[in-house]
Structure 1
Amino acid sequence: MVSTGGVRGDESSFRARWHDDQESIHISVRPDGIDALPLEQRREALADLASTCSTALIAANDRHAVITDPPDPDYTLACGPAPTPRIDDVEVWLTDAPSIEHALAWIRTFATVLNAKGVRCTLSPSRWAGRSRPEPNGQMIPSAALCLKGWRIMDDTRRWGRYPNPGWVFDHELADRLLHSTLKWVVRDSPTPDTATVDIVVDGVGMFMPPTEAAWHLRRNLTNAKLMWFEQDTRSRNVRFDSIGRILAQAYEAHQPWTMTLAAVRSLLIDLHRDLELGVVRLAPNQTGKPGWALSSYAPLPEHLPRTRTIYSRWRHHDATKTFDAYGIQLLSDAHLAAAHDLTGWIITPLTGGMHLVEHPDPAAWFAHDEPDPHVLAQARHDFGPMIIDRRD
């Protein structure tokens, strides 16, 4: 056992999550009674615990160094970022451990120090211990950018450069629909979707949990919230809600053709079409395993538009009737189609609520390589014509 006094931990749980080649483990420090605290008190308690853990790990390293043979004052295990408060615990990153025995020896020392400081908590391996994310590899893969209906600016608009960067809010019914659909989509490839572990980020705090728990946390603040499911380093899906009412999504399959990921992101357009005013599927660099999931909405911009970082927020109100460029698959409204030049060569599938799925007959020309076929793209821009936004807008 790694328990001492008011600090409890099950040694077998750490052994079960350890792999001989990993050399590191993430430790969850979960204080007693944290679930009973209101959110603001919980944040304060976890911030205090993170500070206590910082001093405790330094003391644990000082004490742990003397158990090496011979004693090595530079031998430390707890490295990585500072202890991080999350929703209901604090994470400590233990790395450079030659074996599970070294790791457990350090955890026992750490538990002793925490107990001496009056901490009452449970130590356990974090849910992602021993799991590897898919590495972002720069590969261009089909990605979706979806613009929500009904978004509205919050009263306390923030400033971004010379232009307002509006936050956005929406009603609870819309939030529930979005979370139901996006969480279902994220875990669709999991063999056990109801109990799959979802990686989410809310208010800058990351955690792992089943979809039902994730929905509760995400509902508090969907602005810049992120959710992701992954299976070791072979496949993953992620969704990001950005600050101006858009959803960005990617699916990654390491050993499957591009048609599989294209079908995945295309299905999300259809799943959410009732709540969208515009949706596009485009090529973007694979970011599915990157912390922060840095998906941008419509990169690269067509040549005729200015290169300013505020362009999307400044022209967000045009999304209901315009599009930034021609794309191989788009979800468009009646108003979009009325502004197009000539779409007779495209496949148009009517959906409900005046929305239409508009697809090029040759998807390989758009998604089989790192960029669309230039001749096909030029013709598509001609087909869409005045529906594409320009500087005069």
Structure 2
Amino acid sequence: MAVDVHWESIHEAWDANNVEFLVAFCPTGRPAARPEADLLEDFGDAADEVNVEAEERWLDHSPFIEDAADTTAGGAIALMNTAGDDGEVQACLRQLAERLTLQGWAGQVRGAPPVHPPGWATSVDAVGRALGLFLRFIPADTNDPEPRHETLSRHDLATLRDLADRWATRPATSTYLTRSMFTDIAPSHDLGAEFLQAVERHRRAGLQWIDDEHRSTTTIDLGYGTSAIFAIASRTETWHTRLDTLTRILQDLGPRLEVGLIDTANPMPISWTDLRTRPNPGSDQLNSIDDLDVAREHIPDAYGLQVLTSTHLAKAHDLSAWTITDLGNERHLVQHPDPAAWFAHQDPDPQVIAAARHDFGDIILTPERYTAILDAKRPPNPAAAAEA
């Protein structure tokens, strides 16, 4: 048993992108001495060894292999960066095959074409703005200011699986599964289980349902940390139907959220910045709600529908015109009295936003408030104290 390099597919992928291309390992045999071997772990270890040796041989201009992930076909895939000359890249691929062979695997290292949804699926002109629900689960370790999604509770993971299965019933002509930075055709069955496995094994996981006939997209994306995005874009489904779908999810998950809001978004959003479709008054440092110590006290902006904590509400200026629903666990669903003003168009009217910001008051983070928080968190400077 051995692993070889399929040079024809390598050159096809390389010719399509001479800066970086996808390299996949397609196994045909497992290590007999290690029947429990995890291919992704072995592939990642082999790639790391190749990278170390390449850097030692060619220093800063060496090729490198990065960001390994599972594939739907049962293999592994990574990004081959082609820094260095052709001979160096080829040497790295040979060494990758040799190390996989030493681990006991059989198969081929091949070039892989990128897989992605059709271009119209991410085009605002084709499908309009999406409605997106951005949320962040309460991490299992609430003392960790920047938790990873490995800290999601089993209950929250099961919820994500159930939501994936539920959304799999929406009309779709094709379905894609993203693992880390790689998109693949999704398996045709047990989609919730496959998504959950992707969540547990990769730093990012996502599902995309594409409906060519009705020009609509539905997406779930669990990004870095404990944040997730649910989004629907459609030329045929009304905005209030989409809003009702997302609102039900927000209500169900609300008690277990640090952050939760609905906003217009780019089609198929994968990050907080895709949801922000207008300048916000808050500090850029809170763009991704990375610092939970700050997020538990402030929000980056006012939105037409979002979950706020009791701590947030205590800082509000005047929310008497808004509908506030107690969700439990000190979480509250705060809704603007006119949803159409926020969600029926590409973006809400600036006057609506300005009035909402006035209502929210001190909940919204400003650069000045952020600076004051940072100053309060800094340890005292003994030298400055002595001079004083």
For residues 128-179 of structure 1, give each alpha carbon's deviation from its aligned partner in whole angstroms, at most 9, with x where no partner exists: 9897576211232221221332376999xxxxxxxxxx7523676x343233
CA offset at residue 122 of structure 1? Answer: 9.7
Question: Within 2, Cα distance between the matches of 1:373 and 1:299?
Answer: 15
- Cross-structure match for 2:247: 266
- Cross-structure match for 2:276: 299
Matched, 1:32 2:18: no
Question: Within 2, Cα distance between the matches of 1:274 and 1:149?
Answer: 9
CA offset at residue 346 of structure 1? Answer: 1.0
Q: Aligned letter for 1:150? A: P
Closer/same/farther in 2, CA of residues 286 and 350 from structure 1, 3 Å limit = same
CA offset at residue 316 of structure 1? Answer: 4.0
- Cross-structure match for 1:384: 360
The 8 Å contact of residues 46 and 90 in structure 1, kept in 2 or not, is answered as: no
3-state SS of paired residue (1:214): helix
3-state SS of paired residue (2:273): coil
Question: Within 2, Cα distance between the matches of 1:253 and 1:301?
Answer: 21
Equivalent residue for 2:218, pick from 236, 239, 246? 236
Equivalence map 1:118-133=2 (5 Å): 121=107, 132=118
**Identical counterparts, % of pairs:** 23
Question: Within 2, Cα distance between the matches of 1:129 and 1:148?
Answer: 30
Equivalent residue for 1:348, pick from 314, 324, 333? 324
Question: Within 2, Cα distance between the matches of 1:134 and 1:309?
Answer: 32
Closer/same/farther in 2, CA of residues 357 and 304 from structure 1, 3 Å limit = closer
CA offset at residue 230 of structure 1? Answer: 0.7
CA offset at residue 266 of structure 1? Answer: 1.9
- Cross-structure match for 2:297: 321
Matched, 1:191 2:169: yes
Runs of 5+ consecutive residues of structure 2 not aligned to the other structure:
5-23, 50-64, 79-96, 371-388
3-state SS of paired residue (2:122): coil
For residues 165-205 of structure 1, give each alpha carbon's deviation from its aligned partner in whole angstroms, at most 9, with x where no partner exists: x7523676x34323322233234243399xx9661313x45
Closer/same/farther in 2, CA of residues 266 and 28 from structure 1, 3 Å limit = farther
- Cross-structure match for 1:144: 133
3-state SS of paired residue (1:188): helix
For residues 336-376 of structure 1, give each alpha carbon's deviation from its aligned partner in whole angstroms, at most 9, with x where no partner exists: 22221221111111112121111112111001111112222
Matched, 1:135 2:121: yes
Over aligned residues, Cα RMSD in angstroms?
A: 4.3
Matched, 1:370 2:346: yes
- Cross-structure match for 2:200: 219
Question: Within 2, Cα distance between the matches of 1:90 and 1:386?
Answer: 49
The 8 Å contact of residues 130 and 234 in structure 2, kept in 1 or not, is answered as: no
Closer/same/farther in 2, CA of residues 339 and 313 from structure 1, 3 Å limit = closer
Question: Within 1, Cα distance between the matches of 2:116 and 2:363?
Answer: 49
The 8 Å contact of residues 341 and 348 in structure 2, kept in 1 or not, is answered as: yes
Q: Aligned letter for 2:358? A: H
For residues 218-249 of structure 1, give each alpha carbon's deviation from its aligned partner in whole angstroms, at most 9, with x where no partner exists: 2234xx41211313433322223234x43233
Closer/same/farther in 2, CA of residues 361 and 169 from structure 1, 3 Å limit = same
The 8 Å contact of residues 151 and 169 in structure 1, kept in 2 or not, is answered as: no
For residues 19-41 of structure 1, give each alpha carbon's deviation from its aligned partner in whole angstroms, at most 9, with x where no partner exists: xxxxxxxx993432277423422
For residues 304-355 of structure 1, give each alpha carbon's deviation from its aligned partner in whole angstroms, at most 9, with x where no partner exists: 445x467546754222232111110011111122221221111111112121
Question: Within 2, Cα distance between the matches of 1:45 and 1:314?
Answer: 32
- Cross-structure match for 1:77: none
The 8 Å contact of residues 182 and 239 in structure 1, kept in 2 or not, is answered as: no
Equivalent residue for 1:338, pick from 314, 322, 339? 314
For residues 28-82 of structure 1, give each alpha carbon's deviation from its aligned partner in whole angstroms, at most 9, with x where no partner exists: 934322774234224457999xxxxxxxxxxxxxxxxxxxxxxxxxxxxxxxxx9
- Cross-structure match for 1:75: none
CA offset at residue 295 of structure 1? Answer: 4.9
Closer/same/farther in 2, CA of residues 31 and 316 from structure 1, 3 Å limit = same
The 8 Å contact of residues 151 and 170 in structure 1, kept in 2 or not, is answered as: no
The 8 Å contact of residues 301 and 324 in structure 1, kept in 2 or not, is answered as: no
Q: Aligned letter for 2:209? A: F
Question: Within 1, Cα distance between the matches of 2:219 and 2:275?
Answer: 19
CA offset at residue 281 of structure 1? Answer: 0.9
So what's the TM-score if we normalise by structure 1?
Answer: 0.60
Closer/same/farther in 2, CA of residues 304 and 45 from structure 1, 3 Å limit = closer
Closer/same/farther in 2, CA of residues 254 and 297 from structure 1, 3 Å limit = closer
